[in-house]
Amino acid sequence: MEFTFFLDQDIKLPLYIQLYEHIKTEIQLGRIKEGEKLPSIRNLAQVLQVSKQTIETAYQQLIAEGYVQSRPRSGIIVLPVEEKEPNLVRFSAVFASAPAEERNVLYDFKYGDIDVDLFPMKIWRQCINTALDGPARDILLYGPYQGNADLRDEIRKYVFRARGISCSAEQIFLFGGTQQSVSFLSRLLHLQDGNVAMENPGYEGVRSVFLHYNCNIIPISLEKDGICIDELQKIRAKAVYVTPSHQFPLGMVLPIGKRLQLLQWACDTSSFILEDDYDSEFRYIGKPIPSLKSLDKEERVVYCGTFSKCFLPAARISYVILPLSLVEQGKQHINHCSQAASPILQKALSIFMKEGYFERHIRRMKTLYQHKHKVLLQSIEQFMGDHVNVIGQRAGLHILLHIKNGDAAHLIKKAEEHGIQVYSPARHWLHQEEAPSAFVMLGFGGLSQENIREGIRLLALIWNFLEV
């Protein structure tokens, strides 16, 4: 078959998509007929002066969509044109129809995105309206330093039911996100210039706050079941920051035995444990494990919660539950900072919680994320098979892929060139150069099930994990 076709190197559409689109159109228009054989990958690469990979990826896409078939010893043969699976065809349509400046992102596996399609916008709007109908002084001014009292009381009830924490609303302090919560705690606990232990890898967003306060970060290694207690016992630190419900970013859940050892360490050394329970709502395998705070008889745990995963990142509302012994000091400290979370949104959220919408929303989202998570794991197994291991699959809105034979940085770049964004978790290691080179981080909260599957299939194609 003669094949003359102009690949435009200057437009953002990747070459393999241009080629794929061209062949598909030719087949649909009947100019390439059923039973005809496509040129071999090597030949076409020579003719078009592109890499064999470009041709191969275009062919793989055509095979996957049923336009052609790879037959042993015969080559790649054109099949009869018939109704195609709509979601597969969408892939190219979405890409081609996007504005040029956005064309380079087809599927974004960004960690931090949540599903916004199921967000109960109508109810939330009603809650905001109800909040706005309240006394003007309560919502239109700065609001109490510690945060809206109604919301703190709703949080008290919620953490008791969902996380087994008994506390009073007086112990709860509201902030505008986890970094602000930790910034407050750094001042309250006088962490400046002192030793602070952290899981390594651990959440960079929090580490950067400690570094801002010139803390000396002591990295504590992770074992298969979470933070290494032996290492912790060998050091002295004013505080340790941990993510026991779902270690960030490796995803393990800290077992009860280690939780008790951690609490014992804090008692023995008079240190505080900063428990970040950022996504505890979304747990898919195994029984719920109580929060560390709920086991904290000696009041060594400071609990950090956020509404970013279970509600909306845009709300910018987080909270800290202080041990009783720190509440008075906390109040004095907080009087030096104005409340960052909007009083209007705080009030609206308290109504949303009081009316039972919050827990209903969490239940719906949990089911939805469970489905997405299942599709993600199934797609990885189907399309990537033995090429990868999945890490941290018990909970949360992200997983890590361990690529068995491959350099993650190279694969991430290659994916990006083909319009798929996946991420390196390396910045969560204290020393980035020590991060394993084989990890890729995939957030799935913001993608539909269909897009998760399609994105994984394309990644497998791009990374050569699928056989033609």
- Contacts with ligand PLP by CB under 6 A lie at 112, 177-179, 203, 243, 248, 276, 278, 306, 308, 313, 318
Give me the helices (H) in 235-289, please. 256-269
CB of 247 to ligand PLP, least distance (A): 9
Query: Residues near 319 by Cβ (< 8 Å), separated by ≥ 6?
Result: 147, 152, 155, 172, 173, 174, 175, 181, 304, 305, 306
Q: Least distance from C-beta 140 to ligand PLP, angstroms?
A: 25
CB 202 within 8 A of CB 241: yes
Residue 399, strand partner residues: 442
Distance CA 456, CA 453 (A): 5
Question: In terms of CB distance, is 270 or 432 closer to ligand PLP?
Answer: 432
Q: Which is nearer to ligand PLP, 294 or 308 (CB)?
A: 308
Q: Which is nearer to ligand PLP, 241 or 352 (CB)?
A: 241
Bridge-based pairing of strands 318-321 and 172-175 is: antiparallel
Residue number, 179 or 370, with CB nearest to ligand PLP: 179
Residues in the chain: 468
Nearer to ligand PLP, 243 or 350 (CB): 243
Q: What's the closest the beta carbon of residue 111 comes to ligand PLP, in angstroms?
A: 7
Shortest distance, position 340 Cβ to ligand PLP, whole Å: 11
Pick 74 or 338: Cβ nearer ligand PLP: 338
Kind and range of the H or E element at 197?
A: strand 195-199
- Smallest gap from Cβ 34 to ligand PLP, in A, equals 51
Minimal distance in Å, beta carbon 303 to ligand PLP?
12
422, 415 contact by CB (below 8 A): yes
Closest separation between CB of residue 182 and ligand PLP, Å?
9
- In angstroms, the Cα distances linking 70 to 35, 41, 74, 283, 460 are 12, 12, 8, 41, 18
Please give the structure tokens belonging to residue 272.
Answer: 């505080």
Structure tokens belonging to residue 265: 């360490």
Q: Which of 90, 427 has the CB closer to ligand PLP?
A: 427
Tokens read off for 204: 């960079």
